[in-house]
Amino acid sequence: DIQLTQSPSFLSASVGDRITITCRASQGISTYLAWFQQNLGKAPKLLIYAASTLQSGVPSRFSGSGSATEFTLTINSLQPDDFATYYCLQLKSYPYTFGQGTKLEIK
């Protein structure tokens, strides 16, 4: 099975900051990676797929990059609604696997 490791697990930042979350795969997955945002008590929301394609309706301050085993999610100019938990997901092969999550908190 392909393992995904996100870092950091917790991140403290302020409104207006730029942050980066990393997702590392245990083997190459090309660009079969998606990123999700989950607010407390809500269903996850797709942000980015194919490693770098922004889902329709998602603000352009979100961006993704990477391929093979290393991927990043960047959020520019953090807004209050961005403080949530973020997950990566590999869609290269079954069983699909999620990273353990990164909780982004207000400093």
Partner 1 sequence: QVHLMESGGGVVQPGRSLRLSCAASGFTFSDYAMHWVRQAPGKGLEWVAVISYDGSYENYADSVKGRLTISRNNPKNTLYLQMNSLRDDDTAVYYCVRQAPTSPFDPWGQGIMVTVSS
Which residues form the interface with partner 1 (CB under 8 A)?
1, 34, 36, 38, 43-46, 49, 53, 55-56, 87, 89, 91, 94-101
Task: Write down the least CB distance from residue 106 to partner 1, Å.
Answer: 20
With respect to partner 1, which residue has the nearer C-beta, 24 or 45? 45
Measure the CA–CA gap between 87 and 8, rounded to whole angstroms: 11
Closest CA to 65 of 19, 23, 8: 23
With respect to partner 1, which residue has the nearer C-beta, 83 or 87? 87
With respect to partner 1, which residue has the nearer C-beta, 65 or 85? 85
Task: Write down the least CB distance from residue 98 to partner 1, Å.
Answer: 4
With respect to partner 1, which residue has the nearer C-beta, 49 or 71? 49
Task: Write down the least CB distance from residue 67 to partner 1, Å.
Answer: 17
Measure the CA–CA gap between 66 and 50, rounded to whole angstroms: 10
